[in-house]
Amino acid sequence: MDVVCAGETLVDFLPRTSGRVVKDVEEWVPCLGGSPANVAVGVARLGGRSAMAGVVGRDEFGDFLREGLTREGVDVSHLRQTEEGKTGLVFISLTASGERSFAHYWTRAAAFLFSEVEADRAFLAKARAVHCGTNALLYPEARRAMVGLFQAARDGGQIACCDPNLRLDVWKEPGELKGVLDRLFPCSAVVKLAEDEIEFATGEKEPSAALRALERLGVPLPVVTLGAAGARIAFGGRQHDIPAPKVRVVDTTGAGDGFVAALLYGLTRRCASRSELERLPVEEVRELAAFACQVGSRVCERLGAVAGLPRADELKDVWPASLRGL
């Protein structure tokens, strides 16, 4: 196994025709969603072996997610179905001006019931990398399980990756979210933050200062994504600016998930452990980050988080030299 993704799996409903706010959309199309699940799909489409660990409802939407992830090649043996909560739904539309419009239906969603059952140490130990978001961690049991999972990954020498994908409006007490970040980050080999997340997550306002803050926590490869400007990473004692290609942007939803999927795919192709990641040549890490920017940018060319995730055969012209033949 290359990457186990842990956290929320949701159904994203996208409009058949974009250009209207949610309340005015006449026809919806259900799609796979949830940031960690998007990463799992992205890794699988690139040719990696991925799994999804989380909770969905024992309902037709839960069946839809399990079946859809399976078709994408994602292992769902640890995507539990429960009758204690319903599968979370998110309705997403893009207005004519390009503004995203959301309506969430995930009060008491099954995703929040993440527990030690999903954080199966024996299963997770088979993976080179473990990745998580934070939107499934509203309940104390879920936070304990995820932190325990990351501690085990760190102690086992695995590549632990955290992309908080902050949704502060979900948290009644944002301090609880900050507390869990303070425990996840020191266990992580990779932390990916969007530019608008750095102040909450690190206390710093500038990307360079945020990267230094994460390095002080022991993160060997911190990343701040910068939208159309690409990303800035820290590795090997220096910071590096990674440009993004120019694309026709339709929707930025899921671009960060595409970036993470490509980065983890590349890292797990080159590294079997965190210690091997730490010893990678700087130029190779820069190359993998540039590849991640390529994949994230391509996601922006389609509506929704999953539709634009590219497959390996679509990326031959930008495939990293360090991954050729692997």
Question: pLDDT exceeding 90 applies to what percent of the chain?
Answer: 83
Residue 129 bridge partners (DSSP): 3, 159
What is the residue type of 303? L
DSSP secondary structure letters along 150-210: HHHHHHTT-EEEE-----GGG-S-HHHHHHHHHHHGGG-SEEEEEGGGHHHHHS-SSHHHH
CB 68 within 8 A of CB 50: no
User: For residues 129 and 158, is the Cβ–Cβ distance under 8 A?
Assistant: yes
Scan for tokens 């990326």, then name that residue. Answer: 315
**CATH fold label, 3-323:** UDP-N-acetylmuramoyl-L-alanine:D-glutamate ligase (3.40.1190)
Residues whose CB falls within 8 Å of the CB of residue 99, separated by 6 or more in sequence, listed in order: none
Taking residues 299-323, what's their average pLDDT?
93
Q: Say if residue 301's pLDDT is above 80.
A: yes
Long-range contact pairs involving 246-252 (C-beta distance under 8 Å, separation at least 24): 247/297, 247/298, 247/300, 247/301, 248/301, 249/300, 249/301, 250/94, 250/300, 250/301, 250/302, 250/303, 251/18, 251/94, 251/100, 251/300, 251/302, 251/303, 251/304, 252/100, 252/227, 252/300
pLDDT band of residue 325 (cuts 50, 70, 90) is confident
Report helix, strand or coil for 247.
Answer: coil
Read off the pTM: 0.95
Condensed to tens digits (0 to 9), the pLDDT of residues 88-145 reads 999 988 776 556 777 888 888 999 999 999 999 999 999 999 999 999 999 999 999 9
